[in-house]
Structure 1
Amino acid sequence: MEKDIDKKEEQDEEKNSSSLVQKIQQLGQTNIPQAPESNIHVLTIIGQIEGHIQLPPQNKTTKYEHLLPQLIAIEQNPKIEGLVILLNTVGGDVEAGLALSEMITSISKPTVSIVLGGGHSIGVPIAVATDYSFIAPTATMTIHPVRLTGLVIGVPQTFEYLDKMQDRVINFVISHSNIKEQQFKDLMFAKGNLTRDIGTNIVGREAVEYGLINRVGGVKEAMEKMNELISNQKGQTEQVIQ
């Protein structure tokens, strides 16, 4: 009987030790801070946005087919009153990025985005898809034309398709931000700003000055704005009910 108890204690110790090692390996710490149940859901979009083509395993990716059902669940969950999107992406699949942007902008609950580090390429439409957007002072956004990959055929019809796709990106951005169409196109097609390329890299406050992002700020400012938007929506709902 004592042997069984000793054996069980050894197994429990091994299990706890294994769990501790996993936490250190994954998070670099022994204890995971437990947040109280919140009415605000946080969604992260990091690395490269993976669309129809699977990227190599060493790439840090966000798979859009994983995010789509999450967005549906957020819309349907009555306990969730707001959505905060954290962005640090190099861009990726254009159609996948536009699909995410359209899904985010169609959510009925208040949405806020924060560009941290970078919101490049197709990350730009995602950043502006929310009701209100923030950018960290040192974060950057790269605006450039839609590019060819080795997966499309270089014929006139392909270039027409790319032009239409580019128009979709431009129309989405200007309709969900305060930037003017011509100004956005000037940034997109500027020569000499990026090495051996065309496009523009804008940092922090520049994005706000162009009207692309609403405000410079981080987590504190984003949460304050989110609570304000939630309160406003609740007030409007109460007025409708009355």
Structure 2
Amino acid sequence: MPQDEDPSTPQSPPDTSPQTPSKQPDKEDQKNSLVNKIQELGQTNVAEMENSNIHCITVVGQIEGHMQLPPQNKTTKYEHIIPQLVAVEQNPKIEGLMLILNTVGGDVEAGLAISEMVASMSKPTTALVLGGGHSIGVPIAVAAKHSFIAETATMTIHPIRLNGLVIGVPQTFEYLEKMQERVINFVTHHSDIEEETFKDLMFAKGNLTRDIGTNVIGEDAMKYGLIDTVGGIGSALQKLNELIEERKDDKNGGILQ
């Protein structure tokens, strides 16, 4: 026989406290994620560019090679750039690449690696030199399908050199000469400048105060055939869109019966 509850036993009141909803990502988390992306890759997507068919990569400061530079140096790391180039090539939603350069140069092999990646891409590419595209930044600029330079931007063309411990044997200088030829061949094959003209600019005396070489400014870079067009961001984007449309027409074209 069931027993009745003892009325003297206190009953716990019903839980009337409001239920805490599941935590949604707040603005602070989004801000931290944005800051981390900028610190790691040096760039972030603008809100209106989420569905853009063009990807932009910036090459700024010093191009970092196999050795990490001091933290106060502004650098472009090739291990960040190369995966982005691979992603651009394989992502069907991205139809074109735009490079923005303002670099003093840096590691030769890292710069040539980036240049070869850009030059071997099947998708349309443009490059825009703003401020400066010096030293190994020159091959990166000419690697694109069409290159632009701002009127006030400069490009310093000079021989490569070695730093750190150098073994004073003939093989060292032969290796340096082969490295030099790699740069010269790449630039002359991907631009309209003649090899002799490029060498004359590279080994010129009296143009640079503490070095040999030449500092080429906007219009002169186009006259030498190093850069295709003098222009800015608007011209570079317009040309990139034209190249994208031409590629679409080539894909859609064919013989109809």
Partner of 1:35: 48
Q: Secondary structure at the match of 1:236?
A: helix
**Unaligned runs of at least 5 residues, structure 2:** 1-15, 39-44
2: distance between equivalents of 1:212 and 1:88? 16
Q: Shift of the alpha carbon at 1:152?
A: 3.3
TM-score using structure 2 length:
0.82
Shift of 1:234: 0.6
| CA distance in 1: counterparts of 2:32 and 2:182, whole angstroms | 47
Structure possessing the higher radius of gyration over alpha carbons: 2
Return the alpha-carbon distance in structure 2 between the equivalents of residues 186 and 144 of structure 1. Answer: 10
Give 1:130-149 correspondences, 5 Å limit: 130-149=144-163
In the superposition, relative to structure 1, how do residues 172 and 17 fare at CA in structure 2: closer, same or farther (>3 Å)? closer
How far 1:21 sits from its partner (Å)?
10
Match of 2:138 in 1: 124
Structure 1 residue ranges, 4+ long, deviating more than 3 angstroms after superposition: 1-5, 15-24
Gap runs ≥5 in structure 1? none
Find the counterpart in structure 1 of residue 208 from structure 2: 194
Cα deviation code 1:87-136 (max 9, x no counterpart): 01000000110011000000000000000100000000000000000001
- 1:96 counterpart SS class: helix
2:241 is aligned, of 227, 235, 238, to 227
Question: AA paired with 2:48?
Answer: A
Match of 2:12 in 1: none
CA distance in 2, matches of 1:139, 1:191: 21
| Count of aligned residue pairs for this structure pair | 231
Provide the residue aligned with 2:64 in structure 1.
50
- Relative to structure 1, the CA distance from residue 2 to residue 155 in structure 2 (aligned partners, 3 Å threshold; closer, same or farther) is farther
TM-score (norm 1): 0.87
CA RMSD, Structure 1 to Structure 2 (Å): 2.4
The percentage of counterpart residues that share the same residue type is: 64
The answer to whether the aligner puts 1:182 opposite 2:189 as a matched pair is no
* 1:124-149 residue CA offsets vs partner (Å, 9 max, x unmatched): 00000000000010000000001121
Question: How far apart are residue 155 of structure 1 and its match?
Answer: 2.0
Please show how residues 1-242 of structure 1 align to structure 2 within 5 Å. 34-36=47-49, 37-240=51-254
